[in-house]
Amino acid sequence: MSQVPLSHILMVSAALFFIGMYGLFTRRNMITMLMSVELILNSVNINFVAFNRYLYPDKLEGVFFTLFVIAIAAAEAAVAIAIIINLYRNFHSIDVEDADEMKF
Amino acid sequence: MGASAVIFYILSFLVLVAGLLAVTSRKIFRSAIWLLFSLAGVAGLYFWLQMEFIAAVQIVVYVGGIVVLIIFSIFLTQQSGRDLPAPVRSRAIFSVVAVCLGFVLTCVVLRQYAFGQTGHSVAGAGVDKIGTQLLSTSEHGYVLPFEVISVLLLAALIGCVVIAIKLKPEDK
């Protein structure tokens, strides 16, 4: 583990973050946008764990932040999929361009 | 370059390639499977960082939970054999430019910053330590966020049921 500098891990997580950003910019399908958000959240988790491991190895704060981020991401994914299923029932499409009414 | 570094670079290559295919694949089901590989690779990175508990949680929650939920919602809402529409060309070009600029900027900042190690001993993140500190009410305990997140999960559970429930026609 000590053979790899911390900056390489941070570059990997930055690359994963920007891959998720690219998906969020180009995709118009709600499920694929949700997948991009999951990639972004995962890159943040890698950062927390790497900082915890390299800079503060005697503490556990990064572990707790990662655990809470994972729990909130799970809740967010569940609520998002419930909203997507409800939208599909009303619009028969899960493209974000088709969901242009606030009330139906 | 030792075996540990080689393992790290192979794992990060797997994560990045699978993530890239997950956001560019034209078939939504393949996209979900690539996402699964990417998340499993991230779990491998946690194992490499010697955070076994986080890696186990990653596999249980992401690979076992969220990806399965996404695949179920694909089956419920989509004809999985149909291709997704290609992104608008101008939007794709500008997205690539913005993403590359952001990545280069981040890498430049990372190169210039000197990280200094402040901790001394590698204490290890065993499950017993994590559990004790997570539920401790002392100064560095995390029992309040733990309780708050349990309420949040309950609220998300009820909210999902309320949002996704199908009303009968006479109730509308």
Q: How many residues does chain B have?
A: 172
| Rounded average pLDDT per 10-residue block, chain B, 172 residues | 89 95 90 94 93 92 91 81 79 93 94 74 73 86 92 94 80 54
The tokens of A84 are what?
A: 């997507």
How big is the CA angle at B60 (ends B66 and B163), to the nearest 5 degrees? 30
Q: Do B49 and A50 touch (CB under 8 A)?
A: yes
Contacts of B152 in chain A (CB under 8 A): 71-72, 75
Q: How far apart are CA B98 and CA B119, in angstroms?
A: 37
Q: Which of B42, B78, B96 sits opposite A22 (nearest CB)?
A: B96
The tokens of B92 are what?
A: 């794709």
Whether the predicted pLDDT of A103 surpasses 80: no
Residue A28, phi-psi category: left (phi > 0), alpha (psi -120 to 50), beta (remainder): alpha
Residues A74 and B57 sit within 8 Å (Cβ to Cβ): no
Q: Which of B35, B51, B163 sits opposite A86 (nearest CB)?
A: B163
Q: Do A20 and B19 touch (CB under 8 A)?
A: yes
- Burial class for B134, CB neighbours closer than 10 Å (0-12, 13-18, 19+): middle
Q: Which of B39, B74, B117 sits opposite A42 (nearest CB)?
A: B39
A96 pLDDT band, cuts 50/70/90, is confident
Contacts of B132 in chain A (CB under 8 A): none
Q: Which of A35, A58, A66 sits opposite B70 (nearest CB)?
A: A35
- Burial class for A20, CB neighbours closer than 10 Å (0-12, 13-18, 19+): buried
Q: What is the CATH number of domain A6-91?
A: 1.10.287.3510
Whether the predicted pLDDT of A35 surpasses 80: yes
Walk me through the domains of chain B, giving residue ranges and CATH numbers: 1-82 (1.20.120.1200), 126-172 (no CATH)
User: What's the pLDDT tens digit per position in B103-129?
Assistant: 999 999 998 887 776 656 565 668 888
Whether the predicted pLDDT of A94 surpasses 90: no
pLDDT recorded at residue B116: 74
pLDDT recorded at residue B80: 57
- What's the sign of the alpha-carbon dihedral B137, B142, B144, B148? negative
Whether the predicted pLDDT of A104 surpasses 70: no
Q: Do A32 and B134 touch (CB under 8 A)?
A: no
Q: Do A39 and B153 touch (CB under 8 A)?
A: no
Q: Which of A28, A55, A77 sits opposite B69 (nearest CB)?
A: A77
- Give one DSSP letter per residue of A46-103, joined into a string: HHHHHHHHHT-TT--HHHHHHHHHHHHHHHHHHHHHHHHHHHHHHHS--BTTT---S-
Q: Do B153 and A71 touch (CB under 8 A)?
A: yes
Interface test with A, best of B37, B47, B54 (most A CBs within 10 A): B54
Nearest-CA residue of chain A relative to B35? A35
CA-to-CA dists, residue A76 to A23, A35, A45, A70, B114, angstroms: 18, 12, 16, 10, 35
Nearest-CA residue of chain A relative to B166? A86
Domains of chain A by residue range: 6-91
Nearest-CA residue of chain A relative to B101? A18
Higher pLDDT, B171 or A99: A99
Q: Do B23 and A3 touch (CB under 8 A)?
A: no
User: What's the pLDDT tens digit per position in A65-85?
Assistant: 999 999 999 999 999 999 988
Count of beta carbons in the 10 Å neighbourhood of residue B2: 10
Q: Do A58 and B74 touch (CB under 8 A)?
A: no
Distance of CA A48 to the CA centre of its chain: 14
Nearest-CA residue of chain A relative to B145? A68
Four-CA torsion B33, A10, A40, B54, nearest 10 degrees: 70
